[in-house]
Copies of this chain bind each other. A is one copy, B any other.
């Protein structure tokens, strides 16, 4: 069928969300055995839906509030003998389902119903972006985008955020070099994560006897080995933004490395080291008179599917190792291998920060560090903040939704 055959979008039944569901196929037939509704589409595909699933996802006002689109009717309150008494096609291409014992007939949007078919395998409901692992042969510099465009245009922002999820790092150039630019960019994405380092934090040398100097090694001019921030927390921050305001010192080069690529390299090359970095838990512990955050985790945390989901490498905040006696030397061997790779030529991407550069990176994947700098020679100032991966993913979904709506319009 051609697009001119379609009824206008506003004619479709409501959906239990604020999303946009292009209708690319129409149902050709619908039938039921009481428990399952079977829909045959105009391209021959057959989709099956359970009665309880259809009833739970009804978009009527007694099930989903029209204001919030949140559930107000709950499936655990439905009759235990819920059944479908009929399933049929309406004239406009939507699907009507009658439920007993309620005696109600509810209508379903065909674009929504087709997209959410779960009977032909799971669909991609999170919209996850698969990571591309990198070393310096693959990626000599961060994927780079124009900062002002990302501040102003949704299309540019979406492109940068998709690259951020794929590579774990992007660089925005020519951002305004003012104190609040990093916050303005962050709020284009979502909510900033507060921490004991503040809502925004300054990375510059602090006077050696100051209160701030006691907070972190980052506030000295020394080198920082590649690391992730706040592995001391159960919830390691998923995203870090670092915005260069000034850089007239010598040294202080940026160092970034893809922890997932390092993990994959270890997995390929040494089973003992792989066991050490994925199975032996370090105790991370911050050092402070005022706080005492601790968390136990291996350097490389694996997800249910056995792939890395996060790196825990705040290696200068390791508390005393507290594991099986026979694992101690293996743990140190794993740490040495991991950190040597992270700082070595193959995996450590290095470059200079220019004023106006903003680096956004996945702090649970990409390690960051710096070479030492000479703070007598000039001034070096970065402004930073933390966020979560989920803020980026939420923004990507909303921007993609808007793109779908524009295309559908």
Q: Name A's B-contacting residues (CB within 8 A).
A: 16-19, 48, 50, 52-53, 56-57, 65, 67-72, 74-76, 116, 118-119, 122-123, 125-127, 190-196, 208, 213-217, 220, 222, 225, 233-235, 238, 283, 285, 287-296, 315-325, 328-329, 332, 335-336, 339-340, 388-390, 393-395, 397-398, 401
This chain's copy number in the assembly: 2
Contact residue among B69, B339, B390 (Cβ-Cβ distance under 8 Å from A287): B69
In the complex, chain B residues whose CB is within 8 Å of the CB of A122? 322-324
A398 touches B335 (CB 8 A): no
* A224 to B, closest residue via Cβ: B72
Contact residue among B56, B71, B390 (Cβ-Cβ distance under 8 Å from A293): B390
A283 touches B195 (CB 8 A): no
Contact residue among B74, B194, B214, B296 (Cβ-Cβ distance under 8 Å from A194): B194
A294 touches B397 (CB 8 A): yes
In the complex, chain B residues whose CB is within 8 Å of the CB of A321? 53, 56, 118
How distant is the Cα of A65 from the Cα of B220 in the complex, in angstroms?
Answer: 11
A52 touches B332 (CB 8 A): yes
Known pairs A18-B289, A287-B17; A67 contacts B398 (CB<8 A): no
A288 touches B191 (CB 8 A): no
A332 touches B393 (CB 8 A): no
Known pairs A74-B225, A75-B336, A287-B18; A294 contacts B194 (CB<8 A): no
How distant is the Cα of A190 from the Cα of B220 in the complex, in angstroms?
Answer: 25
A-B contact pairs, 11 of them (CB 8 A): A48-B325, A53-B321, A68-B213, A68-B217, A71-B316, A75-B336, A191-B195, A234-B390, A235-B390, A294-B393, A294-B394
B17 touches A70 (CB 8 A): no
Further 20 A-B residue pairs, CB within 8 A, beyond A52-B329, A116-B320, A122-B324: A17-B285, A18-B287, A18-B288, A53-B320, A67-B213, A68-B217, A70-B287, A71-B315, A72-B217, A75-B335, A118-B321, A190-B291, A193-B193, A291-B395, A292-B394, A292-B398, A293-B393, A293-B394, A294-B394, A295-B390
In the complex, chain B residues whose CB is within 8 Å of the CB of A69? 287
Contact residue among B16, B50, B291 (Cβ-Cβ distance under 8 Å from A329): B50
4 smallest A-B Cβ distances: which pairs? A69-B287, A292-B397, A76-B336, A71-B316
Which one of A72, A324, A325 has the highest number of Cβ atoms from chain B below 10 Å of its Cβ? A325
In the complex, chain B residues whose CB is within 8 Å of the CB of A395? 291
B68 touches A287 (CB 8 A): yes
State the Cβ distance, A180 to closest chain B Cβ, in Å. Answer: 16
A118 touches B322 (CB 8 A): yes
State the Cβ distance, A168 to closest chain B Cβ, in Å. Answer: 16
How distant is the Cα of A295 from the Cα of B394 in the complex, in angstroms?
Answer: 10
In the complex, chain B residues whose CB is within 8 Å of the CB of A329? 50, 52
Which one of A67, A191, A220, A393 has the highest number of Cβ atoms from chain B below 10 Å of its Cβ? A67
In the complex, chain B residues whose CB is within 8 Å of the CB of A234? 238, 388-390
A328 touches B18 (CB 8 A): no
In the complex, chain B residues whose CB is within 8 Å of the CB of A394? 291-294
State the Cβ distance, A399 to closest chain B Cβ, in Å. Answer: 9
State the Cβ distance, A157 to closest chain B Cβ, in Å. Answer: 14
* A35 to B, closest residue via Cβ: B329
* A193 to B, closest residue via Cβ: B194
How distant is the Cα of A193 from the Cα of B237 in the complex, in angstroms?
Answer: 12
